[in-house]
């Protein structure tokens, strides 16, 4: 078998294309479909020309839908009843400050148009669209030059679908607003949105939601969950950010079929779990990230578990990191290849209490005499350099250098330097089962 460093360069071109382009998923995953051609025009709508009385038409109880004609329309606008505001992409709503379109009545909807600019007050959450009522919708809308993009507050059964949100591109990520923010939002759908150059996608105090098919490019957190339970996160493309998905103080999340690529920087990681439980991480592609999967006190509650299954972790500095020794974690049927380090346990602990089964490690040096596809001798990870860097994080600056490589070589040659095992899998797989195919990648 080849050592991780040997195949690292060979696999880099294909996997980096996957991470940086992020346009097509692997087998079993679908494209993050974004519909930017505009929403269908509603029947029987009342047309408003540029500069016309939009708010008056929205307030008229006899009007079910208001259609903006191409051109510039002034905001802010407020939807106080179940009315639809529609426009083609050439219909642009602009305003001088504050939130531009505010949906405060159940059943209100905004579709198709372009929103350009908002106020600049972070404490007031100046945003392009704010939804504050049940059964509201914003779909196929283009947002640009806005501090915050789409804000959903204290609402249920909301639809945020097929929108294109372009962040402010401020050089400092912290000075950008959140692209999409859910606050006390439940049973809602956030799907097929294209987000770039914002700060975070935030899901706080929000449960029972589905976040599916979105593409998030750049920014800080692709998705940040806090105190949010029973959410499904599936088939999203999260690329070129700092953190792909971070889950804090949450239970019952399913992270399935996502592509997370090129999460870099000092805090870079694809998936992080902190003080969370009953989380399932399965069928994801984690490519070229600083850290692949990071677990900190997860699961937190007795009786909870974390399941990590059928994922591909490739070209990461470290594939899996545990903050102290882990328990009640099942890691099964994953492919770990071309990583500089497969597993690290911070604080000098180990991952021997974790259930390891059916995983492929490309640095496994065992054999398969009976031909069943499983190694006949256990895979054991022992690394003196990893043990040192876990205990003394400042030494990570020397990772990949000859100095730490010589330490590992000495540990293999001299039993006196043999470090304690970090993990042990009895019968690892001999070959990967989730290959990365260059034909799946589009420029």
Let me know if residue 49 belongs to a domain.
Answer: no
> Above 60 in pLDDT, residue 247?
yes
Per the structure, how many domains does the chain have?
A: 1
Confidence at 141, pLDDT banded by 50, 70, 90: very high
Let me know if residue 290 belongs to a domain.
Answer: yes
The answer to whether 90 and 70 have CB atoms below 8 angstroms apart is yes
Let me know if residue 68 belongs to a domain.
Answer: no
Let me know if residue 55 belongs to a domain.
Answer: no
Let me know if residue 346 belongs to a domain.
Answer: yes
Token digits of residue 14: 């294909």
Q: What is the pLDDT of residue 300?
A: 86
Let me know if residue 292 belongs to a domain.
Answer: yes
Longest dimension (CA), the chain: 86
Confidence at 7, pLDDT banded by 50, 70, 90: very low
Q: Which residues contact 427 (CB under 8 A, 6 or more apart)?
A: 374, 375, 376, 378
Let me know if residue 67 belongs to a domain.
Answer: no
Token digits of residue 215: 């593409």
Let me know if residue 201 belongs to a domain.
Answer: yes
Q: What is the CATH number of the domain that holds 129?
A: 2.160.20
User: ω before 299 within 30° of 0 (cis)?
Assistant: yes
> Above 50 in pLDDT, residue 320?
yes
| Cα–Cα distance measured from residue 117 to residue 164, given in angstroms and rounded to the nearest whole number | 14
| Cα–Cα distance measured from residue 419 to residue 295, given in angstroms and rounded to the nearest whole number | 23
> Above 60 in pLDDT, residue 376?
yes
11-32 pLDDT tens trace: 444 444 444 443 333 333 334 4
Q: What is the mean pLDDT of residues 111-123?
A: 80
What DSSP assignment string belongs to 11-59? HHHHHHHHHHH--S--TT--------S-PPPPTTPEEE-TTS-HHHHHH
pTM across the whole model: 0.84
User: ω before 350 within 30° of 0 (cis)?
Assistant: no
36-51 pLDDT tens trace: 467 889 998 999 999 9
Which structural domain, as residue segments, surrounds residue 385?
4-39+76-440
The answer to whether 178 and 202 have CB atoms below 8 angstroms apart is yes
What DSSP assignment string belongs to 245-263? EEEES-BS-EEES-EEE--
């Amino acid at each position: 078998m080849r050592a991780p460093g040997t195949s690292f360069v060979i696999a880099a071109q294909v996997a980096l294309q996957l991470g940086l382009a992020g346009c097509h998923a692997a087998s079993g995953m679908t494209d993050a479909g974004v519909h930017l051609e505009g929403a269908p025009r509603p029947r029987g709508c009342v047309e408003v020309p540029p500069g016309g009385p939009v708010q008056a038409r929205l307030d008229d109880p006899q009007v079910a839908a208001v259609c903006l004609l191409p051109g510039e329309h002034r905001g802010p606008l407020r939807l106080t009843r179940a009315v639809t505001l529609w426009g083609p992409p050439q219909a642009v709503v602009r305003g001088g400050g504050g939130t531009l379109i505010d949906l405060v009545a159940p059943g209100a909807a905004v579709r198709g148009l372009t929103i350009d600019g908002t106020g600049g007050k972070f404490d007031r959450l100046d945003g392009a669209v704010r939804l504050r009522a049940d059964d509201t919708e914003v779909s196929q809308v283009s947002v640009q030059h806005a501090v915050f993009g789409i804000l959903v507050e204290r609402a249920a059964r909301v639809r945020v679908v097929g929108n294109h949100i372009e962040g402010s591109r401020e050089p400092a990520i912290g000075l950008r607003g959140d692209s999409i923010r859910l606050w006390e939002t439940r049973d809602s759908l956030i799907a097929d949105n294209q987000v770039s150059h914002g700060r975070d996608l935030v899901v706080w105090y929000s449960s029972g939601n589905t976040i599916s098919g979105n593409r998030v490019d750049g920014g800080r957190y692709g998705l940040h969950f806090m105190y949010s339970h029973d959410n499904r996160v599936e088939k999203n493309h999260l690329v070129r950010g700092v953190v792909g998905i971070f889950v804090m103080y949450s239970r019952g999340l399913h992270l399935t079929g996502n592509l997370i690529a090129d999460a870099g920087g000092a805090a870079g990681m694809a998936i992080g779990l902190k003080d969370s439980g009953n989380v399932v991480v399965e069928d994801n592609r984690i490519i070229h990230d600083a850290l692949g999967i990071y677990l900190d006190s997860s699961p937190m509650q007795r009786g909870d578990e974390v399941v990590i299954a059928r994922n591909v972790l490739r070209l990461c500095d470290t594939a899996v990191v545990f903050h102290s020794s882990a328990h009640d974690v099942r890691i099964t049927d994953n492919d770990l290849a071309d990583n500089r380090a497969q597993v690290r346990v911070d604080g000098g602990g180990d991952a021997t209490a974790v259930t390891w089964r059916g995983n492929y490690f490309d640095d496994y040096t065992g054999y398969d005499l009976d031909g069943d596809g499983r190694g006949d001798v256990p895979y054991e990870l022992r690394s003196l350099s990893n043990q040192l860097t876990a205990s003394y994080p400042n030494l990570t600056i020397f990772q990949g250098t000859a100095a730490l490589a010589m330490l590992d070589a000495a540990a293999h040659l001299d039993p006196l330097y043999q470090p304690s095992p970090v993990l042990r899998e009895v019968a690892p797989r001999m070959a990967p089962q989730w290959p990365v195919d260059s034909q799946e990648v589009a420029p």
